[in-house]
Amino acid sequence: MAKKTDQDTNSNLWGGRFEGAADQEMLVFGASLPVDMNMLPYDIMASIAHATMLGKQGIITADEAQLLVKTLTEVGHDIAAGKVELSLEDEDIHMAVEGELIRRIGEVGKKLHTGRSRNDQVVTDFRLFCRSACSEVIDALLGLMTDICDLAEANIGVIMPGYTHMQKAQPVLFSHHLLAYFWMLNRDLERFEDAAMAASELPLGAAALAGSTFDLDRELVADALDFVQVAPNSMDAVSNRDFALDCDYACAMVMMHYSRLCEELVLWSSDEFGFITLADAYSTGSSIMPQKKNPDYAELTRGKTGRVYATLIGLLTTMKGLPLAYNKDLQEDKEGLFDAVQTVLDCTGALDGMLTTMQVNSERMLDDAQSGFMAATDLADHLVRSGMPFRDAHHIVGQIVHDLEKQGKDFRDLSLEGLKAYAKEFDDLRLVDIRHVLEGHDTFGGTSTRRVREQLELAHTLIADYDESAE
């Protein structure tokens, strides 16, 4: 393991202006090294692209560029493997890499920072991280979306009550309900694609804020790092964190959708609903009540939404009063996003496990769908199709519901003659049959079996298109 002397600390990389040593407590306060180890592979990647460009531009020799590239690769591998001893004097991973480079190859290592500042270096690395993180989340989302489609397909005939205001409203296919979350996640996926694109602008070459006096080829570096464009304004380049906010926002949105789904899993798994049974692997017990089976992981996912929201609000607040260009405040841009991305990935895995292992209690769902007068709207619609004004139809069906409720009955207790007593236009007892009612909702995007199968086909096509574009 490489050792350092007092003269080797990275504060000496910028310490020429200073006489006194840094206060140790302030070194701890100001250091980001414990947080930004996540940036190591991206710092190596960007530094290699920068060194290669310096060599091609003749700013350093080709041999020097080659040595820098070779040693950077070795340093990155050794730090990742724990073979290099780091300390808070390194301040951040960027200074740690450069310091280790200098210890290994001396004067040539000192040339790496030619034409760049930590300001443009750090934000380049951060953009690379964001782009990679978005790609990782997209892959995880596609897996969860596929599982939702599979679950919907396996339960295509299962009928459940649909709700508004948490009151039974109309019958829907369980598959239709599940696919609502597919489309939420599809929008989330698009947001992460947009966030990745927003991160694909190269700041390197902006230096501290004014650009560089060296003949840098920024387009060459952009191509090497697969950025789609070069930042056109050096001051904006080093102070822009919109891309990170885009990523934070995408994380917050997907967690909001996860929280909604988890809320339903918690409700559905309760005795009061009984629509699903979560697998033991995704439940916990009680320390005092032996009978309990708690949906803790659904609740925890729901709870973690708050911390991801906080990341977005935190960075928005940090950014709101910053003058141009770089300010130390911007060191606070990364830790929250690192956590938010990992939280989204962890929660995606938890949801994936819950959905693929849970038991769907179809008979309980159907029984609940048959109660609660959920054919009422369709009864009124039938009267309207017979020529009756909707408000009159609404009143008649409301009267039927009122009378049955007073008797402790529901639509299943009605005979055709009893129905006709309210309006002669009622000519078929199937009008109150839940399956018949459900299949009548046959507009595009509706809950009929035909339309849900159509929706499933569209969902599978979208997933296939994403998979094809990723190859």
User: Exposed, middle or buried by CB within 10 Å (0-12, 13-18, 19+), for 352?
Assistant: middle
Tokens representing 319 are 């950014």
Of 77, 270, 286, 371, the active-site residue reads 286
Tokens representing 120 are 């443009």
Tokens representing 163 are 């709700």
Of 11, 32, 47, 165, the active-site residue reads 165
Q: How far is CA 235 from CA 50, 129, 210, 232, in A?
A: 19, 21, 6, 9
The question of whether 165 is a catalytic residue gets the answer yes
Q: How far apart are CA 4 and CA 86, in angstroms?
A: 9
Tokens representing 459 are 């969902």
The answer to whether 41 touches 27, Cβ cutoff 8 Å, is no
What are the DSSP E strand ranges found in 252-341? 276-277
The answer to whether 440 touches 448, Cβ cutoff 8 Å, is yes
Q: For residue 284, what is the DSSP state?
A: B
The question of whether 177 is a catalytic residue gets the answer no
Q: Which helix (H) or strand (E) holds 167?
A: strand 167-173
**CA triple 348-353-358, angle to 5 deg:** 130
Tokens representing 43 are 């710092």
Active site residues: 165, 286
